[in-house]
Chain A
Amino acid sequence: DAKTTQPTSMDCAEGRAANLPCNHSTISGNEYVYWYRQIHSQGPQYIIHGLKNNETNEMASLIITEDRKSSTLILPHATLRDTAVYYCIVRVRDGSNSGYALNFGKGTSLLVTP
C-alpha cells in the first residue's frame, strides 16, 4: 500500500472549516483514499473514501487532486466534538487475502478551539 504523510497536529476555531491535508505521492491506480477519525478512548470511525472524484457526505468532503498524489478532508463547520486524530489511509482496491485491511499511520491530531 502507498504511504501517506500528514501533519502531526492542527488547530481550528469552532464554526470554521477544518482542512486536513494528506500526501500520498506513491498512490497507484487501484488504491482508494480513506479517512477515519479516532476520538479519545473510542475506536476509529469511518468518515469518507474516494478514488479520483471528489466526494461529499453528511460528515465531510474529500477533495482529491487530479494527479491523485494528495487529498484534503474538509469538515465544513468544525465543532468541539470534532477534536480527534484523523487518519488518511490508502487502500488496495482489488484486495487479496488481507481482506483489504487498512494500514494506519500516526494521523493528524485536530484540536477545535472555542
Chain B
Amino acid sequence: GAGVSQSPRYKVAKRGQDVALRCDPISGHVSLFWYQQALGQGPEFLTYFQNEAQLDKSGLPSDRFFAERPEGSVSTLKIQRTQQEDSAVYLCASSLVRKNSPLHFGNGTRLTVT
C-alpha cells in the first residue's frame, strides 16, 4: 500500500520567506510526527499529533515553526521568516496509536534557505 508521502521533495527559500511543507500519512494512522534532520545528524523530534490534536510540540525550535492537522489526516509544517539555520530535511512519520506500533517515515522535504 501507499506509504507516507511528503511534498515538495525539495524547497529553496530566500531568507525571510514563509514555507509550508505537506505530509500525507498512511491511511488510518492516528499518530503523526514531524522530525528535523540536519546534515550528518540523526532526526530530531519536533512535534506529535494524535488525530487533529497536537499533544506535544516540545521539539519545535522557535515560535516561527507551526504545525497543524485540522482534519486528523494531512498535516502541514509551516516555517515563518525562514533563517539559514532552518536548512535541513524535514521528515514526517505516522503510526497506529497503539504502543509499540512502528513509525513509518516519508522521504522528507529538503529545505534550503539562501
Contacts and interface: CB of A to CB of B under 8 A. Distances in A.
Interface of A: 32, 34, 41-46, 49, 85, 87, 91, 93-95, 97-107
B42 A104 contact: yes
Interface residues of B, number: 29
A97 B48 contact: yes
A107 B31 contact: no
Given A42-B107, A43-B108, A46-B103, A102 B4 contact: no
Interface of B: 4, 31, 33, 35, 41-45, 48-50, 55-56, 58, 91, 93, 95, 97, 99-108
A98 B48 contact: yes
Which secondary structure dominates chain A's binding surface?
A: loop
A45 B99 contact: no
Contacts of A101: 33, 45, 48, 56
Contact of A43 (B4, B95, B100): B4
Nearest to B41: A106
